[in-house]
Structure 1
Amino acid sequence: MIEDDEFDAFMQEMKGVKPIKAKKKVDLARPKVQEPSLIHRRQMAVKVEKGSNNHLTEEIIDLVHPLDVLEYRSDGVSLGVFRNLKRGQYAIDARLDLHHKKMKQAREEVFQFIKDCQKYDIRSAIILHGKGELSEPKAFLKSCTNTWLKQIPEVIAFHSAQKHHGGVGALYVLIKKSDHKKQENRIHYNKGRVDN
């Protein structure tokens, strides 16, 4: 066969030829690329200033997707109230914008914002955290906000906003009545019972 003849001819020509030993010129080891979880751990490793009463986590949090709808309802919040919150039917009395904030600053601002809302008897607010489609890891501040709000006892419910208020890049937040407001309500409603 022709193929056998060609192979034999090739082998005849190659007799006595030895492979050249070359030094490795290219390092084939992969450079270490930081994984998103490592980046995330580093960003979350923030030291709390001494004397701060901010108890919001600095630990690793569960990351959400940029387009996820976020929702939370604590015990005692009726489905009707939660439905109204979800639909954006409560007046927005306060607003916090976290766009372009570093995690440490956002953590402090969320904590103080909720404390101030309760102090001034603000029951319904909005927090604009953004979707985080371009952040690394993705939806980082959105994920942080989702975690932090669940850790604040004054927050009794939240839900991703309607499209005209920022959609999945914002949250409607429902805040517990202050002790002062609860006392006012008790006096008001008890007075009505006594008068009747």
Structure 2
Amino acid sequence: MSSFKDLLNQENTLENEDVSFADAMRDIKPLTQDKIHFAKLNNKQNNARASIKNVEDRTADNKPLLNRPARFHFSDQYEPLIDEHSTLSFTKEGTQTYYTKLLRRGDIRPEVILDLHGYTKEQAKFDLAELIADCKAQHIACACVVHGVGGGILKKKIPHYLMQHPDVAAFHQAPLEWGGQGAILILVDLGEELEHKLLR
């Protein structure tokens, strides 16, 4: 078998000879294929795996998602009338209506973002309840929930879930810089503290 060095040395001696390429490569053996092809997961599968891992990482005892009690139970039966042709907006009864205006204009910046791409309804409900409870506990007034664009189930269901939660003061479709039609900005009801935070 010829080595690469031998072939280089042969090059000079073969310059004047009429040798075909096949003859010159006669002693060369093809390399054995050692490339490994891994199955590629689509983005939804990757995101779902990442979201499950993130939820498990947040728990001290790493209990599986279904074994942990949810902080709030959202109903899938509750479906308020939402005009799909108008901009998504909601203010809880007894809450200042100008809150949604502040959200629409981008005057309030979210301090935390929850990305629900690739989530199932159950995962989304669980993490949404966790988000609102964490915001309340940490005195975070505004959060951004990314559900994605298109006609997906979460885009329809997330507003229904938010309307059910007693700690959601208002929400509005996010401005373009925060996701536009693919996201919602929510204001968490912090009582009097919310008004003080918004006036700063």
Q: Give the count of matched residue pairs.
A: 130
Distance 1:60 1:149, change over 3 A: closer
Give the deviation of 1:75 after TM superposition: 2.4
Residue 116 of structure 2 aligns to which amino acid in structure 1? Answer: L
Distance 1:74 1:62, change over 3 A: closer
Give the counterpart of 2:130 among 105, 112, 117: 112
Give the deviation of 1:82 after TM superposition: 2.4
Structure 1 runs not aligned, ≥5 long: 1-47, 186-196
Q: How does 1:121-132 map to 2 (within 5 A)?
A: 121-131=139-149
Q: TM-score, normalised by structure 1?
A: 0.57
Residue 91 of structure 1 aligns to which amino acid in structure 2? Answer: R
| 2:190 is the alignment partner of 1:177 | yes
Task: Identify the residue that residue 13 of structure 1 maps to in structure 2.
Answer: none
Task: Identify the residue that residue 167 of structure 1 maps to in structure 2.
Answer: 180
Structure 2 runs not aligned, ≥5 long: 1-65
Give the deviation of 1:69 after TM superposition: 2.7
Q: TM-score, normalised by structure 2?
A: 0.56
Distance 1:104 1:129, change over 3 A: same
Deviations 1:164-194, CA, capped at 9 Å, x for gaps: 2110110010001169x58xx8xxxxxxxxx
2:71 and 2:130 in contact (8 A); partners too:
no
| 2:103 is the alignment partner of 1:85 | yes
Structure 1 outlier segments of 4+, above 6 Å: 62-67
Distance 1:140 1:80, change over 3 A: same
1:64 and 1:143 in contact (8 A); partners too:
no
Percent of residue pairs bearing the same amino acid type: 27
Alpha-carbon distance in structure 2 between the residues aligned to 1:69 and 1:139: 17
Alpha-carbon distance in structure 2 between the residues aligned to 1:128 and 1:86: 15
| 2:77 is the alignment partner of 1:59 | yes
